[in-house]
Amino acid sequence: MQPNKSATVINGIKPKPTLAHRIKHRFITRGEWQLYLLILPVVIYFIIFHYAPMYGIQIAFRNYSITKPIMEAKWVGLNYFERFLKSPMFPQLFKNTIILSFYDLFIGFPFPIIFAVILNQTQSKRIVKFSQTVTFAPYFISMVVLVGMLHLFLSPTSGMVNKLLESVGIDPIYFMAEAKWFRHVYVFSHVWQRTGYQAIIYFAALTSVDPGLYEAATIDGATRLEKIWYIDLPSITPTLVTMLLLSVGKVLNVDTQRTLLMQSPTNLVTSEIFGTYVYKVGLINAQFSYSTAIDLFKTVINLTLLIIVNQISKKLTEESLW
Amino acid sequence: MSKMTFSGRKIKSSREDIIFEVITNILLVVACLIVLYPLYFIIIASISNPDYVIAGKLSLYPIDVTFSGYRKIFKFKNLMNGYKNSFFYAIVGGALSATLTLFAAYPLSKHDFSGRKPFTIFLLITMFFQGGMIPLYIVVNKLGLRNTPYVLLIVNGIQVWNLLVTRSYFKTNHIESLSEAAEIDGCSHFGYFFKILLPISKPIIITMLLFYAVWQWNDFFRAMIYLDKPDFQPLQIVLKELLATAQVSSAIYDLMEDQEALTEMLRAAEQMKYGVIVIATLPMMVVYLIMQEYFVQGITMGSIKG
């Protein structure tokens, strides 16, 4: 063992270590500088790409143009927010975003849970493994490809879905262009893509259930459905609550990229949402300040919702995100 | 007496078990078919005569097998360039992101690290509050990263969620006790991290590499915002132009004078679309099938709180 430097400091009368001493002790003697060095790149990264943009939020309150520095742009207060709240786009975006988000949440939520319970109830390990492998696969298909597949399968002239409809005497439907179909196509293609992926989390919670519980239930004469109801579902409740909380915190953040890809000029009535509008106003029309104001409005509402839902959850189930 | 009722129940439950097994198996098979059939259809459509595909004749097996679609795809320069770029972004970007994530996750996993709490809060805040699209765009623009290949390697390169997953892996008990033993032996943090922790953390290293690589391969949005020139475009942008656009409407179709040429073009385009989907998705599917365990592990670890 090598002589320890800090031991000599502690020897003899113990003076109260000064702050400088304590810092030196932690940093040098205990080698914490190495830990700081390891985390440094990520901290710098976050300062530049997450915190610097937060500083840039102030352009929502200024009349900003890209040629001048932010501080030189004229302060206009809540002008842009007022303009947005008064514009006819606001009610439409709000309605579309909320409907799409909740539709996606409530349809999408039960599938992975039901799927995980079925997997857990299946005795044949080979079938379980195979089904898991298959259903997880769509997660690895990119959004661009997925939307491409939708265009191919749902095409009014050559798509297999319309051929099927035609064979039972239904006129072809232009799913990707008609506004009333947008939400259904969005939600159910999303279910197709993510159910297997999300089921993994619930399945992991289920497989960690103490098998003794099932044995005890069997001796008590519980049916399989009773076991699902009284053992399986309670055991995934914490996971479920966490997932729900995270989803609610993102209500206005419903997948911008997916929506953008699925938009067509004719389905904008239902498919224009906050995220896509922020993109168009900001990067296509280059109205930087206005776009940022809408974005900030969205973020603040999301954050408020998350805090409210988290508080409620804390009271009711003792589950919370923080 | 009690024995009899017990065995009676057992028979009842075993019959129930059989019924249950049949039902669950049927449901799982249906679920698998719903997932597999569209994928299977794309593969057979990519090697079938496009006339049959467009006419909706294709259902269970390829008809009039031809590889002309694939031959055209491999001659399509933009696509091949995108393919090459995406491999670069996935491999280099994945390695860079995974390295930095592992570096930062280690200090955060040490319960006696003085910066643990402030840094954790510093990172978590960004999960719930972001500057937004335009402020980030301004920063990227100011740094001169637009229209450079680096932009896709860097922007959104570190994901807090992955950091938390890695941290919770490092935190698991056997690893913590190991760290204490190493400290007593006078091992420095660097020594412990590089010589002891990383070699026994192969699963999380692979998981992180895979997560970041798949994400890089599949992402299109950042390229759409930050890259204008075709040189550095990733595969997904090329695909977007090919696939994710509404078809030529019939009105335009009627207006076109040279209908035959147009029909021929559409016919070829239709078959190419299927082939393009296959070659764009194949690398990720292969990686997934080989590395499935690591993906599952990464997702399950992320759901563990703390």
Rounded-to-integer distance, Cα B94 and Cα B83, Å: 16
In a domain, B63, yes or no: no
The domain total for chain B is 2
Is the Cβ pair B16, A200 closer than 8 Å?
no
What mean pLDDT is predicted for residues A191-213? 90
Rounded-to-integer distance, Cα A314 and Cα A309, Å: 9
Neighboring chain A residues of B189 at a CB cutoff of 8 Å: 31-32, 34-35, 38
Tell me which of B51, B63, B102, B134 to substitute to probe the interface with A (most A C-beta atoms closer than 10 Å). B134
In this prediction, residue A13 has a pLDDT band, given cuts at 50, 70 and 90, of low
Q: What is the mean pLDDT of chain A?
A: 87
Tell me which of A22, A81, A149 to substitute to probe the interface with B (most B C-beta atoms closer than 10 Å). A149
> pLDDT over 70 for what percent of chain A?
94
In a domain, A254, yes or no: yes
Rounded-to-integer distance, Cα B265 and Cα B270, Å: 9
Residue B216: which of B92, B53, B54 has the closest Cα?
B92
* pLDDT for position B306: 38
Specify whether A86 is located in the same domain as A30. no
* pLDDT for position B45: 92
Query: For residue range B167-181, what is the model confidence (pLDDT) as tens digits?
Result: 988 887 667 777 777
**Beta bridge partners of residue B9, listed in sequence order:** none
- With vertex at residue B28, the alpha carbon angle to CA B25 and CA B34, rounded to the nearest 5 degrees, is 140
* pLDDT for position B255: 52
What mean pLDDT is predicted for residues B152-177? 86
Query: For residue range A66-82, what is the model confidence (pLDDT) as tens digits?
Result: 888 888 888 998 999 99
**A99-113, A192-206, B247-261: range with lowest mean pLDDT:** B247-261
Neighboring chain B residues of A206 at a CB cutoff of 8 Å: none
Specify whether B211 is located in the same domain as B268. yes
Give the H/E segment covering residue A240.
helix A233-248
Specify whether A25 is located in the same domain as A164. no
Is pLDDT of A253 > 80? no
Rounded-to-integer distance, Cα A150 and Cα A187, Å: 12
* pLDDT for position A7: 46
- With vertex at residue B209, the alpha carbon angle to CA B118 and CA A138, rounded to the nearest 5 degrees, is 110
Distances (CA, A) of B63 to A154, B115, B279: 21, 64, 20
Specify whether A66 is located in the same domain as A111. no
In a domain, B55, yes or no: no
Specify whether B12 is located in the same domain as B133. no
Rounded-to-integer distance, Cα B70 and Cα B47, Å: 8
How far does A102 lie from chain B, in Å, by closest CA?
19
3-class SS shares of chain A: helix, strand, coil, % to 5? 75, 0, 25
In this prediction, residue B14 has a pLDDT band, given cuts at 50, 70 and 90, of confident
Determine how many CB atoms are found less than 10 A away from the CB of residue A50. Answer: 22
Residue type, B16: E
Is the Cβ pair A249, B129 closer than 8 Å?
no
Is pLDDT of B245 > 50? yes
- Asked whether A207 and A184 are in contact (CB, 8 A), the reply is no
What mean pLDDT is predicted for residues B125-141? 92
Is pLDDT of B249 > 60? no
Give the H/E segment covering residue A80.
helix A79-86
Of the candidates A49, A131, A224, which has its C-beta nearest B28's C-beta?
A: A131
**A248-262, B111-125, B214-228, B247-261: range with lowest mean pLDDT:** B247-261
- Among A25, A54, A75, the domain-final residue is A75
Distances (CA, A) of A21 to A26, A168, A258, B25, B56: 9, 84, 55, 67, 79
In this prediction, residue A292 has a pLDDT band, given cuts at 50, 70 and 90, of very high
Neighboring chain A residues of B197 at a CB cutoff of 8 Å: none
Is pLDDT of A4 > 60? no
* pLDDT for position B5: 43
End-to-end CA distance of chain B: 51
Specify whether A66 is located in the same domain as A87. no
In a domain, A322, yes or no: no
In a domain, B77, yes or no: yes
| Residue A3 in contact with partner chain B when CB distance is under 8 A | no
Alpha helices in chain B (DSSP H): 2-46, 50-54, 68-75, 77-88, 94-109, 116-128, 133-142, 150-154, 160-171, 173-184, 189-191, 198-200, 202-218, 221-226, 235-243, 250-255, 259-302
In a domain, A102, yes or no: yes
Q: What is the ipTM of this complex?
A: 0.87
**Beta bridge partners of residue A75, listed in sequence order:** A62
Specify whether B85 is located in the same domain as B162. yes
What mean pLDDT is predicted for residues B92-110? 95
Is pLDDT of B257 > 50? yes
Rounded-to-integer distance, Cα B43 and Cα B21, Å: 32
What mean pLDDT is predicted for residues A19-34? 80
In this prediction, residue A290 has a pLDDT band, given cuts at 50, 70 and 90, of very high
Residue type, B230: P
Specify whether B166 is located in the same domain as B42. no
The domain total for chain A is 2
* pLDDT for position B36: 96
Rounded-to-integer distance, Cα A277 and Cα A93, Å: 8
Specify whether A206 is located in the same domain as A130. yes
Specify whether A63 is located in the same domain as A132. no
**Beta bridge partners of residue A62, listed in sequence order:** A75
Residue B99: which of B182, B4, B176, B213 has the closest Cα?
B213
Backbone angles phi, psi at A74, to 5 degrees: -70, 135
**Chain B residues 65-104 with CB within 8 Å of chain A:** 100-101, 103-104
Mutual angle of helices B94-109 and B202-218, in 10-degree steps: 140
Which CATH number do you get for residue A223? 1.10.3720.10
Of the candidates A45, A135, A149, which has its C-beta nearest B158's C-beta?
A: A45
Specify whether B136 is located in the same domain as B275. yes
Specify whether B141 is located in the same domain as B24. no
Specify whether B147 is located in the same domain as B32. no
Residue ranges making up the domain that contains A36: 5-75
* pLDDT for position B8: 44
Rounded-to-integer distance, Cα A187 and Cα A254, Å: 11
Specify whether A98 is located in the same domain as A218. yes
Specify whether B20 is located in the same domain as B133. no
Which CATH number do you get for residue B79? 1.10.3720.10
**Chain A residues 140-169 with CB within 8 Å of chain B:** 140-145, 147-149, 151-153, 155, 157-160, 163, 166
More confident residue, A200 or A254: A200
* pLDDT for position B298: 82
Is pLDDT of A320 > 80? no
More confident residue, A178 or A312: A178
Helix (H), strand (E), coil (C) string for A190-219? HHHHHHHHHHHHHHHHHHCCCHHHHHHHHH
Query: For residue range A35-52, what is the model confidence (pLDDT) as tens digits?
Result: 999 999 999 999 999 999
Specify whether B244 is located in the same domain as B184. yes
In this prediction, residue B2 has a pLDDT band, given cuts at 50, 70 and 90, of very low
Is pLDDT of A118 > 50? yes
In this prediction, residue B3 has a pLDDT band, given cuts at 50, 70 and 90, of very low
* pLDDT for position A222: 82
In a domain, B215, yes or no: yes
In a domain, A175, yes or no: yes
* pLDDT for position B20: 85
Of the candidates A119, A145, A201, which has its C-beta nearest B281's C-beta?
A: A145
More confident residue, B54 or A278: A278
Residue type, B235: L
Residue ranges making up the domain that contains B41: 2-46
- Among A27, A58, A75, the domain-final residue is A75
pTM of the model: 0.87
Query: What is the interface size between A and B, counted as CB pairs within 8 Å?
Result: 277
- Among A75, A101, A116, the domain-final residue is A75
In a domain, B65, yes or no: no
